[in-house]
Amino acid sequence: MNGRPSQTFRIAGMDCADCARTIESGVAKLDGVQSCAVNFGAATLRVEGDVPHEAVVARVRELGYDAKIENEELRIAKGDFLNSQFSILNFLLARRDTTLALIGAILILPGLVFNELLPFSGVESVLFDVTSIAALLVAGYPIARSAWRSLTINRQININVLMTIAAIGAVVIGAYTEAGLVMVLFALGEALEGYTTERARDAIRSLMAVAPDEATVLRPCMDCREHMGQDGYSGGPCPFCGLHEQRVSVSALRIGDVIVVKPGERIAMDGRVRTGASSVNQAPITGESLPVLKQPGDEVFAGAINGEGVLEVEVTRLAGDNVIARIVRMVEEAQERKAPAERFVDRFARYYTPAVVALAFVLAIAPPLLFGAPFMPTAGDQGWLYRALELLVVACPCALVISTPVAIISAIGNAARHGVLIKGGAYLEALAGVQAIAFDKTGTLTEGKPSVIKVKSVNCTDPATGVCDRCADLLALASAVERRSEHPLARAVVAAAEDSQLNARYPAAQSVKAIAGKGVSGRVADRDVLIGSHAHFDQVLPHDRALCDEINALSTDGLTPVLVGTDGAFAGYIGIADAVRETSRQVIDELHRSGIRATVMLTGDNAQTAQAVARQVGVTDVQAGLLPEQKVEAMQALRDQYGAVAMVGDGVNDAPALAAATVGIAVGGGTAQAIETADVVLMGDDLRKLPFALQLSRAAMRTIRTNIALAIGIKLAVLALVLLGLGTMWLAVLADVGASLLVTLLGMRLLHYCPADTAAQA
């Protein structure tokens, strides 16, 4: 490409997809711009061509938004409103346009109550019209300004033009309250859409918080004064001093640097273990349910949590290219690919608005000019100006504009009461069309934490069930040692002993010693107790072949075996696994009954564990051992096969797949990043809310289709009467108000919808 390299800008004030199209169209008209694209989800604008960045910023601001080069500070009205108890109110007050919408909502109340809701109350005052006009002017100013700029700069008629023409038409025939109400509702809807969008964008950026900002790096002593002059040393790295630990920003690290990761710390950078051995919890990155042993030569990821040992890690990727940074980029790119389709009303308005304006003009002028028909009303004729004004009133899209939002708001409100957060109408609509659902395993279909599933002593008196006092004693003995360990498996053993009230049978072990990556030992009640992996016991404490096969069978069933030995003899084993949620099977079965064609498990865990869980919950397909980018690829393949696909997850590692899905669904007990990235959140950690959300979305879409058909059908019927000269101004108003009331009542039925309704309909 001839010209400048591509430039990326951060955009502020972009609340809807229509805003993105307005910016794209306006910037594309600048001289020198070869191409431009707005990523609505990430609030960025990429421009290619020989154009000064000052010209791009000026054009964006001319269109009513703000822009800065991506690495510059952007003036965005942020603050703490996103985390505030009154966050929506604070958001409305943080920006001028949304504050005006809020003021307009207050001003419209008198006219709404006495002119529209209670017209027969006998309470009349010119003040109601004044406040309605004031609401129109206050809330409608930003909308009319945007409409004017769209017409003069982009030469396009957008949805703001549609709203402005509707409001002007209502004023022309004296429907001041209706004019103000159209502007207020539209302005508030745009404000709420902007609030949700800003929360999502902030959540994407917060993904970076998973990795620490600083790291401990090994660096040589530079220009050492103590050894200066010895053996010809004159400066630079000191040959006499060893490497020293220094705390530095991760941005200062370079490929090849060696960082020290202490027990319990998060790993700061992607790298390769150089020395040390430790169990590393990679669940935030790969979704693996249990810690993974890392030894020299093994790869580790930024954001993973180190276990009991000290690791020296050689950095293999820079901060801007580590696994967390790649996840952020994938989330943004996936959101760009799945940008919501243009809203129906906006698409319709591209043809509807100019057609109505042209038709009204022709209706007022053509008959008087061509046929000598009366222009103004006469005793025996309405006059064609009156008919044109009727047409504008009929064309006022109040019912059409309200038909979809009222159903969406009712459905979202009902969902919230049932513990389901749906972040917008686009996601409600998309959920209704889902044909396949993919699930993360750890923390979604399973509990997300290791639990003791089986305890078996070699002296078990009840081999059939493995439940006897000797098995209980084995658990109590192991718990006495594991109380001194911070390993996740140790915590599972201690928790199981506490649940069985065995934690007081033995005192905490003495002389506890961790065997890095292999196990732990200690002395309990004058007995030497060893707890470790099967592989470690194979080396140091041989056991019966039949028992060995029995323990290997645990791994096939998805359990992790922990072996116990006392005084040099094998004593038994404990099987630990990430327990399957009790409701998972019920949910999967219900989804299949509701018509979902496929349920798929996508997990970073090993294939044996994944297959064991799949058998328990009943999913139709399993894909195991997936990294975040592979989950995205799997989602794309599912979309190619089934069309609309939902993804259910709870971890940071699920965020890219959640964004790549048609609908991303987060489990409420998961990470904040997954919850913020997702389009739908199941609050309260209850998967049983998923079938309800699916059924509610389908009911909402049936209602929306009915509402749109009624809104357009009634308008067309009254329009026919107007053209035939059989209509009146009050009939046009009645049709508009009546249609609005009808679609509102139909939409509000969704407030009381429950799953039983769908079952009855079926």
- The 3 state secondary structure assigned to 389-440 is HHHHHHHCCHHHHHHHHHHHHHHHHHHHHCCEEECCHHHHHHHHCCCEEEEC
Q: Which CATH number applies to 447-580?
A: 3.40.1110.10
DSSP 626-651: --HHHHHHHHHHHHHHHSSEEEEE-S
Residue 237: which region, alpha, beta or left (left: phi > 0; alpha: psi -120 to 50)? beta
pLDDT in tens, 289-309: 568 888 899 888 888 888 888
Q: In the prediction, which pLDDT does 488 show?
A: 72
Q: In the prediction, which pLDDT does 487 show?
A: 75
Q: In the prediction, which pLDDT does 565 show?
A: 93
pLDDT in tens, 436-477: 999 988 778 887 778 888 898 888 877 666 668 889 999 999
Q: In the prediction, which pLDDT does 758 show?
A: 39
Average pLDDT over residues 602-630: 85
pLDDT in tens, 242-264: 788 888 888 888 999 999 999 88
Domain ranges of the chain: 7-76, 211-321, 409-439+582-693, 447-580
Neighbours of 487 (CB within 10 A): 21
Mean pLDDT of the chain: 78
Hey, which bits of 443-509 come out as E strands?
446-457
226/370: higher pLDDT: 370
- pTM, two decimal places: 0.56
Q: What angle do CA 131, 133, 134 make, to 5 degrees?
A: 60
Q: Which CATH number applies to 409-439+582-693?
A: 3.40.50.1000
Residue 709: band (very low, low, confident or very high) from pLDDT cuts 50, 70, 90: confident
Q: In the prediction, which pLDDT does 733 show?
A: 53
* Positive or negative: CA dihedral 427, 428, 430, 431: positive
pLDDT in tens, 655-699: 788 888 999 888 865 445 555 667 887 866 678 889 999 999 999
Average pLDDT over residues 171-196: 71
pLDDT in tens, 200-212: 455 445 555 667 8
Residue appearing with tokens 């950095």: 315
* Positive or negative: CA dihedral 503, 506, 507, 513: negative
CATH architecture entry for 7-76: 2-Layer Sandwich (3.30)
- Residue 87 scores a pLDDT above 80: no
Q: In the prediction, which pLDDT does 386 show?
A: 63
67/382: higher pLDDT: 67
328/608: higher pLDDT: 608
Residue 19: band (very low, low, confident or very high) from pLDDT cuts 50, 70, 90: confident
Residue 435: band (very low, low, confident or very high) from pLDDT cuts 50, 70, 90: very high
Least confident of 347-351, 354-358, 368-372, 693-697: 347-351
* Positive or negative: CA dihedral 58, 62, 66, 70: negative
Judge whether 383 and 377 are in contact, CB under 8 Å: yes
Least confident of 71-75, 538-542, 557-561, 754-758: 71-75
List active site positions. Answer: 440
Q: In the prediction, which pLDDT does 189 show?
A: 65
User: Mean pLDDT: which of 332-341, 370-379, 419-428, 446-455 is highest?
Assistant: 446-455
pLDDT in tens, 121-163: 767 788 888 998 999 899 889 888 888 888 888 887 666 776 7
Q: How far is CA 504 from CA 218, 501, 521, in A?
A: 45, 7, 19
Judge whether 400 and 703 are in contact, CB under 8 Å: no
- Residue 354 scores a pLDDT above 80: no
Please state the separation of Cα 39 from the chain's center in Å: 16
- Residue 759 scores a pLDDT above 60: no
CATH architecture entry for 211-321: Distorted Sandwich (2.70)
